[in-house]
A and B are shown apart, each in its own frame.
Chain A
């Protein structure tokens, strides 16, 4: 019983910390700019949509130095953009058609647990259907990946997965139609590395991919 109380106390402290930290942060912002929160209240018009991994080590706004109001964010396991996933499709739709973001960044990261799991011959139950999408990326690039070993293969699948998700975003009606009309959004593929904390640009060629996919996936009427 005493032990249970200790655990409760510890859990409460770790949760209290969030509220204390949040209060401190709010006070700091108000001290810097008394209108800070009033302005945020009026609405959002972010330039970017970020699709990243849920991994706790890659908080999108912190690693790009952006403040509240600047980046619309979706994060899931292994930054996937699946065609039949209403969740991510709603995010893309809202960001492109309603917020009119200028850039969409798909950001993966080396050492991704989701990609690792998808390279493992193991039944992961509920996660199987989601990770299946990454196994499909492997199949698309089987020759290239099989020629690599160990970490190199793992790193390359992280990169190829990002490029494939960029392609999936470009295939959406929202992006194709908005781009035809406004020349934005532009889709970018990046990878975050823990080695140096830097983002690597995979130089995804938005125009070229768009032209390529439109032979089959053209939804611009």
Chain B
């Protein structure tokens, strides 16, 4: 039990240091934050501990509105994610939505096979496993499971984006004020983000951001 309590002391202490440092750098920092939030980006990422969005994007508190779940899935019938999207898009009026998948994703690796993970996780990952079945030929041709899991993570990001585009608030904001939706992949081994090209939209000039566009 001693070690269990030490683990907790650590984050309580970590929070004290954070509060002190933040106030020392800018005495008004918390006062400013307490006034409200106006994030430009909604980040939908994996719950995986290795991808803390604010840290890896070198962002500050107040910049990213965040939803994180197992394997960054957006399912059409999921009220949890739908509520996050509704609040972020219709009320906070974020300008972009980012769906970020990653290499070595436990959810993607599990979705390469059909091992029984219990009904809860089996049900949650079912759409990802269906994705695997639909892309069997492409995945089978890849050299190993690492590459296959990475490709499945990419396909899963695209699928989440497809579902997002059907969300009523997203549909409306895309038309009314140019909200854009983007897919990213985070490489855990390199610590770097990569933008996924929207295959369906390529060359159509639909307002999607791309690194080479001027």
Contacts and interface: CB of A to CB of B under 8 A. Distances in A.
B is a partner of A: yes
Interface of A: 7-8, 11-12, 14-16, 18-19, 21-26, 29-30, 36-38, 40-41, 43-44, 46-48, 54-77, 80, 82, 85-91, 93-95, 97-98, 102-103, 105, 111, 113-114, 125-127, 129-130, 183-184, 186, 188, 194-199, 201
Nearest to A45: B49
Given A64-B14, A93-B121, A44 B67 contact: no
B12 A199 contact: yes
B30 A22 contact: no
A126 B65 CA distance: 18
Contacts of A7: 178
Contact of B124 (A77, A87, A201): A87
Nearest to A52: B66
A129 B79 CA distance: 8
A137 B137 CA distance: 50
B166 interface: no
A94 B121 contact: yes
A56 B62 contact: yes
B70 A90 contact: yes
A114 B189 CA distance: 36
A82 B12 CA distance: 27
B80 A76 contact: yes
B54 A198 contact: no
B18 A65 contact: yes
B191 A30 contact: yes
7 closest residue pairs by CB, A with B: A65-B14, A21-B58, A26-B191, A59-B54, A197-B19, A194-B34, A61-B52
Contacts of B195: 19
Interface string B188-200: 1111110100000
A94 B103 CA distance: 18
B80 A88 contact: yes
Given A22-B192, A75-B68, A199-B12, A130 B79 contact: yes
Given A68-B51, A68-B52, A77 B83 contact: yes
Contacts of B168: 126
B1 interface: yes
Contacts of B64: 56, 59
